């Protein structure tokens, strides 16, 4: 019986592997079983979120630069 993933992940088969993709971030991972794929993708999402916490000034500046946003701080 296949375990149902959390609603945050979509599962698909790719040959002999299962792929779990996080629907909000697009982060994906794979495994030999659906539950292993979800477990690996959950870990990848957690690692990504740990690297990019809200309030991280370096990350905020990177996003401002990425989207070419200039904030006027003289107000």
Q: Is residue 74 part of a domain?
A: no
The model's pLDDT over 25-65, given as tens digits with 9 standing for 90+, comes to 899 999 999 999 999 999 998 888 776 666 677 777 887 88
Number of structural domains (the chain) is 1
Q: Is residue 62 part of a domain?
A: yes
The model's pLDDT over 10-31, given as tens digits with 9 standing for 90+, comes to 999 999 999 999 998 899 999 9
The three-point CA angle 33-35-39 to 5° equals 120
Residue spans of beta strands (DSSP E) within the chain: 9-14, 17-22, 28-31
Q: Which domain covers residue 14, as residue numbers? A: 9-66
Q: Is residue 61 part of a domain?
A: yes
For the residues 68-75, what does the mean pLDDT come to? 76
């Amino acid at each position: 019986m296949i375990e149902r993933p959390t609603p945050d992940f979509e599962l698909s088969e790719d040959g002999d592997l299962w792929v779990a993709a996080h629907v909000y971030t697009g982060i994906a991972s794979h495994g030999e079983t659906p539950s292993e794929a979800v477990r690996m993708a959950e870990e990848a999402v957690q690692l990504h979120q740990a690297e990019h916490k809200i309030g991280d000034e370096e990350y905020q500046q990177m996003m401002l630069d990425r989207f070419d946003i200039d904030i006027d701080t003289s107000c």
